[in-house]
Structure 1
Amino acid sequence: MTKTALITGASRGLGLALARSLAADGWRLILTARGADTLGPVADELGALALPGDVADPAHRERLARAVQDRGGLDLLVNNASGLGAVPLPKLADYPLDALEELFRANVLAPLALVQAALPWLRERRGAIVNVSSDAAVEAYEGWGGYGATKAALEQLSNVLAVEEPSVAVWWVDPGEMNTAMLAAAIGAQEAAAAPAPETVVPTLRRLIDRRPASGRITRP
């Protein structure tokens, strides 16, 4: 049976790199990202379904759930889409609370809502969830308090979900620094260019997906 994956933030970076790897192995893909102009060509390249939109929007999440239902189920949910928050990165003493609230909606509530929507199919197929996290969830980096707090919350949600849903594999993955547009926005393009490419993380993700180890926190070796 052909396996189906839903990947958020799939138009670039790690989401795109993983989508290309899964497509090469015959996976059926549902891809979403906010930028229709960039997502469309990716879907055409991979023979995937493109549903552009913001995962923080409940109406868009409903469209994604309908797409999963139309395809008969789901084997893998990858919560890769993420916001950076206020830029330049502020200290917590100066963090605009409205921006932090918006960031929690994007980085915590939206992934959880997608998990809730997908769980019936994932339980049925003994599927898997990959929640992309960050070392900022566990380390104290100046300026990264807002973003790190959202990833810490996502990690604890994942931790509890793994206990509550034993038939579904749940991995929260810290990929380390990657040369992405988000990192460039945070620290500058020149500095971000020195980080490894997102493609270097894909082998770690594929080992999880293909070998299905126990649920838990994963860091790139």
Structure 2
Amino acid sequence: MTNTALITGASRGLGLALARSLAASGWNLVLTARGADDLERVAAELGATAIPGDVADPAHVERLARAAPELDLLVNNASDLGVTPLPPLAAYPLEAFSALLETNVTAPLALIQATLPALRASSHGAIVNVTSDAATGAYEGWGGYGASKAALEQLSNVLAAEEPSVRVWWVDPGEMNTRMLAAAVGAEEAAAASDPAKVAAALHDLVSSRPAGGKVSLQ
């Protein structure tokens, strides 16, 4: 029987790398990202289903759930960095902070709620919530993003206790050479970070080995 995964933020970075890794193992994939053109190219490459859209849009969440009535793995990878250059909390625009929480916390929970019936029905349903060391580290400028990831970690922690039939992992992938990191620290520093493909391989191993739910660091 073919496993099915739903991956958000799948057009580049870790989401793309994980989609490629799972596709190589025969997984059926439902992929989403905001950039329709890039997502369609990835879907064509991998033989996946592409559903472009914004995970913060409730109607889009409903479309994703309908596209995966049988689901074994949900990967909440889509994320927003927030305001750049990264501002101190004393100057963080509150409207932008609310939007950041909507994308990084509320949207993953909405997608979890929409797909939990299918994940519970699977014999090996699992959820991966991609977080960050900014959730716990006091890094100047990272307060907005870090606060959103801290909330996602606690959400995951409680969900793991409430849903014992579904594996829930909240995963800190470490610094990766991605467009998001480059926007935060500059292209030169980002280029020295880990290759997302290597991180995706470790994440694929995690999903395959199915350890107990909990926080996982891939650094």
The residue number in structure 1 matching 2:161 is 163
The alignment's TM-score, normalised by the length of structure 2, stands at 0.98
Q: What secondary structure, in the 3-state scheme, does the structure 2 residue paired with 1:5 have?
A: strand
1:127 to 118, 125, 146: 125
Percent pairwise identity: 72
- The Cα of 1:220 is off from its aligned counterpart by 1.1
Distance 2:209 2:187 in 1: 35
Offset at 1:106?
Answer: 0.1
Do structure 1's residue 45 and structure 2's residue 45 form an aligned pair? Answer: yes
String of CA shifts for 1:33-54, please: whole Å, max 9, x gaps.
Answer: 0001110110000000000000
Residues 195-206 of structure 1: pairs in structure 2 closer than 5 A:
195-206=193-204
Superposition deviation, residue 157 in structure 1? 0.3
Task: Count how many residue pairs are aligned between Structure 1 and Structure 2.
Answer: 218
Equivalent residue, structure 1, for 2:87:
90
Aligned to 1:77: 74
Cα deviation 1:188-216 (Å, max 9, x = unaligned): 11111111111111222112211100000
Q: 1:104 aligns with which of 91, 101, 109?
A: 101
Structure 1 portions without partners, runs of 5+: none
Read off the aligned partner of 2:211 and give its amino acid letter.
P
Alignment match, 1:15: 15
Can you list the C-alpha shifts for 1:161-200, whole angstroms capped at 9, x where unaligned?
0000000000000000000000000111111111111111
Q: Which runs of 4+ in 1 moved over 6 A?
A: none
Q: Write out aligned runs for 1:204-219 (5 A).
A: 204-219=202-217
> Pairwise CA RMSD of aligned residues?
0.7
